[in-house]
Amino acid sequence: MKKVYLVGGGPGDPELITVKGMKLIQSADVIIYDRLVSRKLLAYAKPGAELIYVGKQAGKHTLTQEEINQLLIKKAEEGKLVVRLKGGDPFVFGRGGEEALALRKHGIAVEVVPGVSSAIAVPALAGIPVTHRGIASSVTLVTGHLAEKKEERLDYASLKAETVVILMGVKNLPKIIEEFRKTRPPTTPVAIIEKGTLEEQRVITGTLADIIERAQEAKLKPPAITVIGEVVKLREDIA
């Protein structure tokens, strides 16, 4: 049966991929990979494997999502072992669900290989547990990069979780923080982790009152993850 593996490549550090994910990389005929996938993982591909980059970043897409879907279908129909390698976990803001539905619609089997999500791993490696007894018993994962004309679907100010983790929020950070200021104290701790899990990782900390200015002073660049909540204070002792 024709089949595509949707593989989570982990949060950036190539050592954080799963064993199953690594085995599939080593055996794949075709690897179709994203921008945030560690290039070091591709070094484990077998000789002759076809490596196809389909990365996206703000304002610059190698292929549209529909074109990526069609590429996956085409390669699978050629009878090849196809690995769709995505950063983090395929189903956490990775559009893996869309790709799985497109493949199944064409009668192609899909196997999901979960990955270590950057939403949890990046804060953890920066010394910030997203939950902690007595401090935070709830966490919300949210995107900071919303689809066009759908911004009304997400009301940041109404989020009630004690910890909020925002992915892909660098461009919209001022607007997002302004929304949180409507319902949370200005002293609420905030951390922004740039290039998490990598050697170049930087962590910028502050509060809702001053984090925008601190991020601007640090010339923050994506990829970065923002954590809002009292758990940020634990970094002082854990990191």
The residues annotated as belonging to the active site are: 34, 56, 168
Cα separation, 71 vs 90, whole angstroms: 17
Q: How far is CA 116 from CA 10, 91, 94, 145, 164, in A?
A: 5, 11, 12, 21, 18
Cα separation, 84 vs 34, whole angstroms: 9
Q: Is 33 within 8 Å of 54 (Cβ atoms)? A: yes
Task: Dig out the tokens for 162 from the structure.
Answer: 């004690």
Q: Is 227 within 8 Å of 139 (Cβ atoms)? A: no
